[in-house]
């Protein structure tokens, strides 16, 4: 039978059943509800650890009985707990392990608990990817079940196919359409046109077109990850707001260009997790170690959606306003011709010095002014600001 979500010409109207399942699974995980992840003969009842309480843990234990739940962690989180592994692991949870202990295992800088880990099965790895897509804590409780009887638990619990999770980002990118656009004059005097895109799963990336870019020539482009704290409130902990303002000015000076404003808060971990990394940084970690301690990669972003937006706007050659080599590489691999790079260096202050230092020395960002500042930054300055680059 033809898929009801696919039109007679084969065009995707709403996404396949599996793709829709992933979108719904993301929504369920964000709401703290369980889903069943299936694949390769496996079926796992999965609950995100985000917001876990004793009541929710008790309900999950009852739902999965007589199977004892296990905790699945990313390889990076496991490594931060002293477990030698290069893949996600599953930890057995004894009956006396309560919600607070689980949350400590997932989010605290250190933990005293000792467990014997085992490699996570493929469906559990997919559950970790799903919880990352939901931008909540990257850890899940799992319990084996049988796919054919999952509806016996609760007909409201949806099933997500593991292989569809792996294809989700690409699928979402291919469903991108232009939802609306309008001219938006800015208080800085820059005149722009906002083009709002939308994919089949509800994300709304925006292209801010400054002036009138000449598409016959390389177009100046800034790929900017949304930063509520920096862009809107002027946070001094990062350089995001300053970069956005500088990019707008540079594009106006160049006679036109494009800013792609993407929902990739905290290098793709989401706003709540960014606040968790800030707390870990306040305890002494730098921005790289804070991300990996929570179980995320240093940078969870990918740029397929940016490539698709540029293609839809008719930009095939760009001059990228960035200090991040990963952005250059990501666009080049996807077929966008990189005609040049324009550095976008912003002021260093006592609150963002350590952050910028980590980006330059550990994440490979090309920040010559930061490296020069490190060389001239005295120990007495560090003592005054409480910072240790």
Instruction: Give the pLDDT confidence score for residue 250 in this predicted structure.
Output: 95
State whether 121 and 183 are in the same domain.
no
Q: Is residue 93 part of a domain?
A: yes
pLDDT class for 361, splitting at 50, 70, 90?
confident
Instruction: Give the pLDDT confidence score for residue 209 in this predicted structure.
Output: 98
pLDDT class for 262, splitting at 50, 70, 90?
very high
DSSP string, 164-205: HHHTHHHHHHHT-EEEEEEEEE-TTS-EEEEEEEE-TT----
Give the residue numbers spanning the domain of 23: 17-166
Q: Give the mean model confidence (pLDDT) for residues 89-94.
A: 92
301 catalytic per annotation: yes
State whether 146 and 246 are in the same domain.
no
Number of continuous H segments (helices) and E segments (strands) in the chain? 16, 14
Instruction: Answer with the one of 141, 166, 191 that is the final residue of a domain.
Output: 166
Whether residue 227 contacts residue 234, with contact meaning beta carbons closer than 8 Å, is answered with no
State whether 41 and 82 are in the same domain.
yes
State whether 244 and 333 are in the same domain.
yes
Q: What angle, 0 to 180 degrees and rounded to 10, lies between the N-to-C axes of helices 17-30 and 122-133?
A: 70
State whether 307 and 332 are in the same domain.
yes
Q: Which of 301, 308, 353, 354 is catalytic?
A: 301
Q: Check which CATH number belongs to the domain holding 358 and give it.
A: 3.40.50.10990
Q: Which of 203, 297, 299, 382 is catalytic?
A: 299
State whether 150 and 281 are in the same domain.
no
Instruction: Answer with the one of 166, 198, 223 that is the final residue of a domain.
Output: 166
Instruction: Give the pLDDT confidence score for residue 344 in this predicted structure.
Output: 92
d(CA 343, CA 127): 38
Q: Is residue 127 part of a domain?
A: yes
State whether 21 and 153 are in the same domain.
yes
Our count of domains for the chain comes to 2
Instruction: Give the pLDDT confidence score for residue 377 in this predicted structure.
Output: 58
Instruction: Answer with the one of 166, 184, 215 that is the final residue of a domain.
Output: 166
Using the 8-state DSSP alphabet, how is residue 82 labeled? T
Question: Which H/E stretch holds residue 139?
Answer: strand 139-144
State whether 26 and 118 are in the same domain.
yes
pLDDT class for 199, splitting at 50, 70, 90?
confident
pLDDT class for 26, splitting at 50, 70, 90?
very high
From residue 211, alpha-carbon distances to 4, 70, 149, 181, 192 in Å are 43, 55, 58, 15, 6
341 catalytic per annotation: no
Residue spans of alpha helices (H) in 13-88: 17-30, 54-64, 75-80
d(CA 262, CA 88): 28
Q: Check which CATH number belongs to the domain holding 92 and give it.
A: 3.90.870.10
Whether residue 250 contacts residue 242, with contact meaning beta carbons closer than 8 Å, is answered with no
Q: Give the mean model confidence (pLDDT) for residues 37-57.
A: 93
State whether 120 and 261 are in the same domain.
no
> What SS3 class is residue 322?
coil
d(CA 123, CA 105): 21
Using the 8-state DSSP alphabet, how is residue 6 labeled? B
State whether 197 and 300 are in the same domain.
yes
Q: Is residue 297 part of a domain?
A: yes
């Amino acid at each position: 039978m033809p898929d009801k979500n696919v039109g007679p010409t084969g065009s995707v109207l709403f996404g396949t059943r599996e793709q829709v399942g992933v979108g719904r699974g993301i929504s369920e995980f964000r709401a703290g509800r369980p889903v069943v992840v299936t694949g390769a003969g496996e079926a796992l009842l999965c609950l995100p650890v985000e917001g876990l309480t004793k009541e929710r843990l008790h309900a999950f234990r009852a739902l999965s009985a007589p199977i004892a739940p296990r905790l699945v962690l990313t390889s990076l989180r496991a490594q931060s707990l002293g477990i030698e592994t290069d893949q996600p692991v599953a930890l057995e949870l004894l009956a006396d392990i309560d919600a607070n202990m689980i949350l400590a295992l997932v989010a605290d800088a250190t933990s005293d608990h000792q467990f014997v880990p085992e490699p996570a099965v493929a469906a559990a790895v997919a559950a970790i990817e799903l919880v990352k897509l939901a931008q909540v804590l990257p850890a899940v409780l799992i319990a084996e079940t049988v796919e054919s009887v999952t509806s016996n638990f609760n007909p409201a619990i949806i099933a997500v196919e593991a292989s569809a999770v792996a294809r989700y980002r690409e699928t979402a990118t291919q469903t991108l359409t232009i939802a609306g656009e309008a001219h938006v004059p800015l208080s800085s005097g820059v005149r722009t046109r906002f083009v709002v895109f939308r994919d089949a799963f509800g994300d709304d990336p925006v292209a801010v077109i400054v002036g009138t870019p000449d598409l016959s020539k390389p177009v100046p482009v800034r790929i900017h990850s949304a930063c509520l704290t920096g862009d809107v409130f002027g946070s001094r902990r990062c350089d995001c707001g300053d970069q956005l303002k500088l990019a707008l000015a540079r594009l106006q000076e160049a006679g036109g260009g494009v800013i792609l404003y993407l929902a990739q808060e905290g290098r793709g971990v989401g706003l709540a997790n960014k606040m968790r990394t800030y707390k870990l940084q306040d305890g002494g970690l730098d921005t790289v170690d804070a991300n990996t301690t929570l179980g995320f990669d240093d940078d969870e972003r990918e740029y397929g959606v940016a490539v698709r937006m540029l293609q839809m706007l008719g930009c095939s050659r760009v001059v990228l306003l960035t200090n991040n080599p990963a952005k250059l590489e990501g666009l080049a691999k996807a077929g966008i011709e990189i005609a040049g790079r324009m550095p976008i260096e912003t002021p260093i202050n006592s609150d963002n010095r350590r952050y910028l230092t980590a980006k330059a020395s550990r994440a490979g960002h090309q920040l010559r002014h930061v490296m020069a500042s490190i060389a001239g930054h005295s120990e007495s300055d560090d003592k005054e600001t409480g910072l240790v680059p």
